Amino acid sequence: MKTLVLANQKGGVGKSAVGSQLAYYLAEKGKRVLFLDFDHQKNSTKPIVKSGRAAVASFHTTDLLLGQAGVMPDGNFVIVPGDDSLSSLERQPDKHNIIANALKAFLEKYDAQFDVCIVDTNPNPDIRYAAALITGDFVLSPIQLNQEAIDGIGSLLNHSRYGYRKIKQAINPKLELIGILPNMVEPTPFQRANFAQLAKHFAQLLIATGNPDMPYAHIPKRSSIAEAQAEGAFLATVKKTAAREAWREIKPSFDVIAQRMKLEV
């Protein structure tokens, strides 16, 4: 099982929409998908549960992280939902080692049952975020094309406690950064200029597609994506012209992300 961690130390970047639509995409491709929602806001849990596509565990991710996970449901697509208690874990330092070890043991236990585990993390770096990076195989960081988000790339990489580089060097050498994924991209001069700045200074962190018409993976801003999330729907199955067009724009990015994770789709 490959574990993909969705990480960004800023909220409101559409990380949960990327995660849930990517989960639907991989499940549709025949992959056995486990989804863990570590964000107490539950922005991934709500649409995935509403979709009816995933079996829902009877326990929450707080239980999982405290080593109290119950019996997993059967199925090729399973979500362990988030819960309000997740936000209290950082304030329990005596349990931090338990949390990291419990997640590692859980992933090892279900390694043969699933092909991929997607972990949606909370935006503020804490023990949940750290445990995910300590145990993960890959990191994907959706961002928005504004100066604040671009400046925040440094925190993702170099945070003094939970930066990607520190965790990879000191704790989890197998952790690979797939890259940063510009999300909610609009065809405006301002966004084009920010994308050009990103490509100039951080090209090595962007996800190259090999397609000259779309050199780097990104997700456009489309109302049909938000509508699909609100309905708990997989965008590719929404029978509206705008949704079909949006999916044609998104699918190449998901294809290359799956390839980077060495998942045959």
In a domain, 265, yes or no: no
Q: List C-alpha distances in Å: 197 to 13, 90, 228.
A: 18, 35, 31
Spatial CB neighbours of 193, under 8 Å, sequence gap ≥ 6: none
Query: Measured between alpha carbons, how far is residue 73 from residues 34, 97, 221 in Å?
Result: 11, 27, 35
Give the Cα separation of 215 and 201 in Å (integer): 15
pLDDT above 80 for 155: yes
Q: Give the C-alpha separation, 34 to 77, whole Å.
A: 6
Structure confidence by residue, pLDDT tens digits, 40-68: 999 999 999 999 999 999 999 999 999 99
- 259 vs 145: CA distance, rounded Å: 24
The proportion of the chain whose per-residue pLDDT surpasses 70, expressed as a percent, equals 98
Q: How far apart are CA 45 and CA 43, in angstroms?
A: 6
Is residue 175 predicted with pLDDT exceeding 70? Answer: yes
Residue 87 domain-assigned (yes or no): yes
pLDDT at 200: 87
Give the domain extent around 139.
2-260
Tell me the CATH number at 115: 3.40.50.300
Cβ atoms of 152 and 10 within 8 Å: the answer is: yes
Instruction: Give a yes or no: residue 108 inside a domain.
Output: yes
Domain count within the chain:
1
Supply the pLDDT for residue 199. 87
Q: pLDDT class for 90, splitting at 50, 70, 90?
A: very high
- Identify which of 123, 131, 148, 260 has the alpha carbon closest to the alpha carbon of residue 205: 260
Assigned domain for 126 exists: yes
What residues are paired with 182 via a beta bridge? 143
Is 131 within the bounds of a domain? yes
Angle at which helix 241-260 crosses helix 15-28, to 10 degrees, equals 80
Rounded mean pLDDT, 109-119: 97
Average pLDDT, the chain: 93
